Amino acid sequence: MRVSALAPPSPTRRVIRPVGLVVCLAVLGLCALLSVTVGAKPIAVADVWAALTDYRGTYDHDVIRTLRVPRTVLGVFVGAALGLAGALMQALTRNPLAEPGILGVNSGAAAAVVVAVFVFGAGGAALVWPAFAGAALAAVAVYALGSRGRSSATPVRLALAGTAVAAVLQGLVYGVIVLNDFVFDRIRFWQVGSLTGRDMEIFWQVAPFLVVGVMLTLSLGPSLNVVALGDELASTLGGRIGQVRVLSAVGVILLCGAATAAAGPIWFVGLVIPHLARLVTGPDQRWLLPYSAVLGAVLLTAADTVGRVVLPRSELEVGIITAFVGAPLFIALVRSRKMAKL
């Protein structure tokens, strides 16, 4: 049976939800601290503090300021954005398999990156803007197609439109890379999703989108609860379905577009994190959204840190580790209890 998000929560859940959020935030703080201190060269917490407050230009201080901190900050924001975008997407489409990629975000970004590499030979930070633009354009196209005609974009329509657009873009990407070694070489590394070598410049480029996206999304919680009741009941109760859907789509574009632009496509976080969060929060979007953000950030920073130390003398990309860390956890949870449905 469907449990309404508007039903009063059980007494235990009422206590667990705020406490759990504080615990998750504490864990996130710990992960961020580890991310700054752990790496090929371990650096003591005291030195980290000194590097930030009393910069002396030593090698350790440079590592902290130019490598570890940007990477950690980016990891927290990208993870939070992906978790939020995933939760939003699943609420928007009412499909537990939905992830931001369904709006065509990842394939749009990939196609734009391929074009940028193919035409301009671009690389590194120069790929951020094309990726964001591509993601946004693809998502707008999917949404426009899904909301054609008189009725607003229904979940099934969005899923179908997104699949079709993604397929066309993916085909174009494949077409270019099989005929061009150079582009293929760039794309195979971009495609994995990584935080390696990202500096503050990249963070400042995407930060405005991320901040606006996070604020917009968190404000949508109550309206999404109403939309979750189904179109007819929701409109009877005075919910503005069309408006909420448009705003949600804008949120997904801002969050996921910026995250993908900064770190490449890391699709698993957006898919899994909301399922994990739902185990604690139940279907109430007002809690589900912040939980998804914090847990997404935890997963991404933790995975990035693990990726730095798991192999001697080389790094594993964060996109690889999120799958290796997140998937067994996810499967264990799926098995251990009845999954909370949407």
Partner 1 sequence: MTTLISARSAEGGRVRLRTAWALRLWGGRVSVLVRPRALAVGLVLVAVSVAVVALSVSVGDYAIPLERVPGAMLGFGERLDVFFVQGVRLPRALTAVAVGASLGLAGAVFQSLSRNALGSPDIIGFTSGAATGAVAAILVFGAGRTVVSLGAIGAGLATAALVYLLAMKGGVQGYRLVLVGIGVSAVLGAVRDYLMTRADLTDAMGAQIWMIGSLNGRGWGEVAAVCAGLVVLGPLLVGLGRRLRYMELGEDTARGLGVPTQVTQVVALAAASALTGAAIAVAGPIGFVALAAPQLARRLARSGGTTLVLSGLMGAALLAVADLVAMRVLAPAQLPVGVVTAVIGGSYLLWLLYTEWRGNRA
Q: Interface residues with partner 1 (CB under 8 A)?
A: 95-97, 102, 145, 148-151, 154, 156-157, 159-161, 163-168, 170-172, 174-175, 177-179, 181, 184-185, 188-189, 191-192, 268, 271-272, 275, 316-317, 319-324, 326-328, 330-331, 334-335, 339, 341
User: Under 8 Å CB-to-CB from 56, ≥6 apart: which residues?
Assistant: 50
**Residue with smaller CB distance to partner 1, 37 or 301:** 301
Contact 75, 318 (CB under 8 A): yes
**54 or 181, CB closer to partner 1?**
181
What number of other Cβ atoms are within 10 A of residue 150's Cβ? 5
- Residue 215 Cβ vs partner 1, minimum distance, rounded to whole Å: 30
- Residues 251 and 246: their CA atoms lie apart, in Å, by 9
Cβ-based nearer residue to partner 1, 63 or 139: 139
* Least Cβ distance, residue 330 to partner 1 (angstroms): 5
Q: Between 153 and 202, whose beta carbon lies closer to partner 1?
A: 153
* Least Cβ distance, residue 304 to partner 1 (angstroms): 14
The number of beta carbons lying within 10 Å of the beta carbon of residue 147 is 19
What values do phi and psi take at 63, rounded to 5?
A: -60, -45
As measured in angstroms, the least distance from the Cβ of 73 to partner 1 is 24
Going through 264-329 in order, the beta strands assigned E by DSSP cover none
Q: Which is nearer to partner 1, 77 or 268 (CB)?
A: 268
- What is the rounded distance in angstroms from the CA atom of residue 217 to the CA atom of residue 220? 5
Phi-psi group of 83: left, alpha or beta (phi > 0 → left; psi -120 to 50 → alpha; rest → beta): alpha
Minimum CB–partner distance for residue 166 and partner 1 (Å): 8
Compute the least distance from the CB of residue 127 to partner 1, in Å: 16
Of 256, 265, 280, 266, nearest in space to 326 by CA: 266
Give the residue with the Cβ less far from partner 1, 225 or 322.
322
